[in-house]
C-alpha cells in the first residue's frame, strides 16, 4: 500500500501497513479499481458505462463483439461518445480486446456486472438490502465459503428492521404502523429463506464457532421480528378504539387523515386559511409606562399589591327546565311518503339512492327492519308516530345474495334486491325479531364531506 494519498487520512506517525483493516481492501485493488472506473464522473457518464457493459455481458452464446456489431447494437448512442466509453472500459481492464479486434468482458468486468445485476433484481416493494444479503448468504453457503462478516451484515440489517418497526409502534401513527406492516409482509419470504439457512448452519456439527455464534444471534433477531406482527395488531386495535366517526356520514377520523395526507402543502394551507390567528388578537390593556412602573417596583424588591376583589362571585342557580332536543325524523317521513306512493316493483338501489352515501345507508337500514318485520308476520314498531307509520307500510322488500354495481351518488356497489307493493295483508303475530338481512352498501371513494340530513 504505497498510495501517497492515504497518508492524508491517517494520523501523524501511522503508516498504512500498520493498519490491518486496510489489508483486505488493498488485496482487492483490481476489483475496487473496476468499480471506481464505473462510478467515477457525472451521472450520465456512469449510466452510459453501465449500459454498455451490461449489454455486452448479456450476449451469452457469442460473448465476443466486433466493433461493427457494437456500433450496430448501440445505434441510439452518439458514435464518438460510444468510442469514448469503450476506450475507458478497455483502458481500465473491464473490457478485453483480442488479436482479432473483438471485444469481450474481462473476469473483473463480468463480476462487477453480475453483482450490479443481482442488486437490481429485487423489486421496489421489497427490501433490496435484505433480499441481496439473504441471496448472498445462500450463494456463499452453497459453495462452502460462508464467513462471519457476511452473517454480520444480515444481523445488522435485521436489528435495523426491528428498530424501525418499534419506532413505528411507539409513534402511535396509524399510517406509519400500516407502512411498517406492509414492509414486514413484503420481506416475509426473505426472512423464511434466512431461517432455512440458519437451520442448515446450526445442524452442522463442524460449523465454525464464530459462524454459529452469529447465527444464533440472527435467530433471536428473527424471533423478535416474528412477534412484531402481533404488536402491530395490538397497536392498531388501540387506535381503532380511539377512532371517531363523524356523525352519521360513515366517515371516520382515519379517513379524514388519509385524505389530508393525499393533499399537497398548498392545498392544506388553503384549508386552514383564516381558521386561526398566528398571535392572539387581544387589545393591549397596559401601556409601556405602566409596564415600566411594575418592572421598577419588582427590581427594587417591593411587592405590588392589587386592590382588586379576589373573592368568589355570589352563587347563582342554574335553570332546571332544559328543553330536550327533538329527534329529526324528516328523512324517515319523506321516505315513508315515497314508499306509500310506490306504483310498481322497483330495484332496491333505485329506491335507496339519493342524497349521498349517508342517507342511502339510513334508508337501507330502514328497509332491512321493514323486511324483517314483514318476514316474521309482525307489524313491528310503535303504534303511533312516524316509526309506526313506516313499519305498517304495505310494502315487501326482498334482498339477494349478490352485489350490483351502482357507480353514482357516492355508492360503488350495493346488495341486489327489489321493493314492491304488498299483494296481500299479513296477520300480526308476536314481537319482531332482530334484523337478519345480510346487506352490503359500499361507498365510492370520495373526499370527506359533512353528513346530509
Look at residues 205, 225, 241 and tell me which one is the last residue of a structural domain. Answer: 241
Comparing CA positions, the residue from 55, 1, 51 lying closest to residue 25 is 1
Q: What pLDDT digit, counting tens, does each position of 371-429 carry?
A: 776 555 444 455 567 888 888 888 888 888 888 888 888 888 888 888 888 775 544 44
Examine the domain organization and report whether 104 and 139 are in the same domain.
no
Cell of 190: 426473505
pLDDT of 378 reads: 47
Examine the domain organization and report whether 134 and 114 are in the same domain.
no
Residue 319 within a domain: no
pLDDT of 448 reads: 39
β-partners of residue 408 are 411
Residue 259 within a domain: no
Examine the domain organization and report whether 23 and 99 are in the same domain.
yes
Residue 107: pLDDT over 70: yes
Residue 170 within a domain: yes
CA–CA distance, 3 with 13 (Å, rounded to integer): 16
Residue 96: pLDDT over 50: yes
pLDDT of 452 reads: 34
Cell 382515519 belongs to: 254
CATH code for the domain of 27: 1.10.10.10
CB atoms within 10 A of CB 372: 18
Q: CA separation (Å) from 87 to 18, 36, 95, 96, 103?
A: 37, 15, 9, 10, 11
Total of domains in the chain: 3
Examine the domain organization and report whether 96 and 30 are in the same domain.
yes
pLDDT of 127 reads: 65
CA–CA distance, 91 with 154 (Å, rounded to integer): 36
CB of 236 closer than 8 Å to CB of 174:
yes
Let me know if 366 is exposed, middle or buried by CB neighbors in 10 A (0-12, 13-18, 19+). Answer: buried
Let me know if 78 is exposed, middle or buried by CB neighbors in 10 A (0-12, 13-18, 19+). Answer: exposed
Residue 179: pLDDT over 70: yes
**Angle formed by the axes of helices 79-91 and 43-57, nearest 10°:** 80
Residue 194 within a domain: yes
Examine the domain organization and report whether 162 and 236 are in the same domain.
yes
Examine the domain organization and report whether 109 and 146 are in the same domain.
no
Look at residues 221, 241, 261 and tell me which one is the last residue of a structural domain. Answer: 241
Examine the domain organization and report whether 109 and 202 are in the same domain.
no
For the range 82-87, what are the long-range contacts, defined as Cβ-Cβ under 8 Å and sequence gap of 24 or more? 82/52, 85/45, 85/48, 85/49, 85/52, 86/52
- Per-residue pLDDT, averaged over 337-360, amounts to 87
pLDDT of 430 reads: 41
CA-based diameter of the chain, in Å?
Answer: 111
Cell of 410: 357516492
Residue 87: pLDDT over 50: yes
Look at residues 241, 263, 289 and tell me which one is the last residue of a structural domain. Answer: 241
Residue 303 within a domain: no
For every residue of 141-165, DSSP letters joined together read: HHTT---HHHHHHHHHHHHHHHHHH
β-partners of residue 105 are 95
Residue 39 within a domain: yes
Residue 235 domain boundaries: 128-241
Examine the domain organization and report whether 29 and 74 are in the same domain.
yes
Examine the domain organization and report whether 363 and 432 are in the same domain.
yes
pLDDT of 319 reads: 57
Examine the domain organization and report whether 215 and 133 are in the same domain.
yes
Residue 434 within a domain: yes
Residue 286 within a domain: no
For every residue of 264-313, DSSP letters joined together read: -HHHHHHHTTTTS-SS------S-HHHHHHHHHHHHHTPPPP--S--SPP
CB of 112 closer than 8 Å to CB of 94:
yes
Q: What pLDDT digit, counting tens, does each position of 215-255 carry?
A: 888 888 888 888 888 888 888 888 777 777 776 666 777 77
Amino acid at each position: 500500500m504505497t498510495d501517497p494519498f492515504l497518508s492524508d487520512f491517517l494520523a501523524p506517525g501511522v503508516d498504512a501497513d500498520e493498519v490491518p483493516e486496510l489489508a483486505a481492501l488493498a488485496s482487492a485493488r483490481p476489483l475496487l479499481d473496476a468499480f471506481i472506473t464505473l462510478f467515477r464522473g457525472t451521472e450520465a457518464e456512469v449510466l452510459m458505462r453501465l449500459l454498455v457493459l451490461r449489454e455486452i455481458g448479456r450476449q451469452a452464446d457469442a460473448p465476443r463483439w466486433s466493433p461493427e456489431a457494437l456500433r450496430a447494437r448501440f445505434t441510439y448512442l452518439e458514435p464518438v461518445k460510444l468510442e469514448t466509453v469503450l476506450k475507458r472500459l478497455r483502458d481500465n481492464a473491464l473490457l478485453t480486446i483480442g488479436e482479432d479486434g473483438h471485444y469481450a468482458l474481462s473476469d473483473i468486468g463480468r463480476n462487477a456486472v453480475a453483482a450490479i445485476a443481482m442488486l437490481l433484481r429485487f423489486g421496489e416493494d421489497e427490501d433490496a438490502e435484505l433480499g441481496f444479503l439473504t441471496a448472498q448468504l445462500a450463494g456463499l453457503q452453497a459453495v462452502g465459503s460462508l464467513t462471519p462478516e457476511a452473517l454480520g451484515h444480515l444481523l445488522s440489517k435485521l436489528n435495523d428492521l426491528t428498530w424501525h418497526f418499534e419506532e413505528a409502534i411507539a409513534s402511535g401513527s396509524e399510517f406509519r404502523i400500516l407502512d411498517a406492516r406492509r414492509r414486514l409482509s413484503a420481506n416475509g419470504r426473505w426472512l423464511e429463506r434466512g431461517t432455512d439457512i440458519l437451520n442448515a448452519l446450526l445442524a452442522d456439527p463442524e460449523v465454525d464457532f464464530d459462524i454459529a455464534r452469529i447465527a444464533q444471534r440472527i435467530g433471536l433477531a428473527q424471533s423478535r421480528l416474528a412477534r412484531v406482527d402481533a404488536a402491530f395488531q395490538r397497536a392498531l386495535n388501540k387506535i381503532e378504539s380511539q377512532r371517531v366517526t363523524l356523525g352519521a356520514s360513515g366517515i371516520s377520523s382515519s379517513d379524514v387523515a388519509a385524505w389530508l395526507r393525499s393533499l399537497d402543502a398548498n392545498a392544506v394551507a388553503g384549508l386552514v386559511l383564516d381558521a386561526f390567528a398566528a398571535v392572539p388578537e387581544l387589545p393591549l390593556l397596559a401601556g409601556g409606562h405602566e409596564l415600566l412602573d411594575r418592572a421598577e417596583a419588582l427590581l427594587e424588591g417591593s411587592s405590588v399589591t392589587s386592590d382588586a376583589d379576589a373573592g368568589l362571585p355570589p352563587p347563582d342557580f342554574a335553570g332546571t327546565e332544559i328543553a330536550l332536543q327533538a329527534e329529526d325524523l324528516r328523512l324517515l317521513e319523506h321516505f315513508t311518503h315515497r314508499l306509500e306512493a310506490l306504483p310498481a316493483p322497483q330495484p332496491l338501489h333505485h329506491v335507496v339512492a339519493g342524497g349521498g352515501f349517508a342517507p342511502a345507508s339510513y334508508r337501507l337500514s330502514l328497509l332491512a327492519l321493514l323486511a324483517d318485520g314483514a318476514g316474521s308476520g309482525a307489524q313491528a314498531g310503535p303504534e303511533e308516530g312516524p316509526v309506526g307509520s313506516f313499519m305498517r307500510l304495505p310494502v315487501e322488500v326482498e334482498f339477494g345474495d349478490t352485489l350490483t354495481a351502482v357507480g353514482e351518488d357516492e355508492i360503488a356497489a350495493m346488495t341486489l334486491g327489489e321493493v314492491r307493493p304488498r299483494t296481500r295483508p299479513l296477520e300480526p303475530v308476536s314481537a319482531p325479531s332482530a334484523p337478519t338481512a345480510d346487506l352490503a352498501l359500499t361507498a365510492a371513494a370520495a373526499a370527506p364531506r359533512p353528513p346530509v340530513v
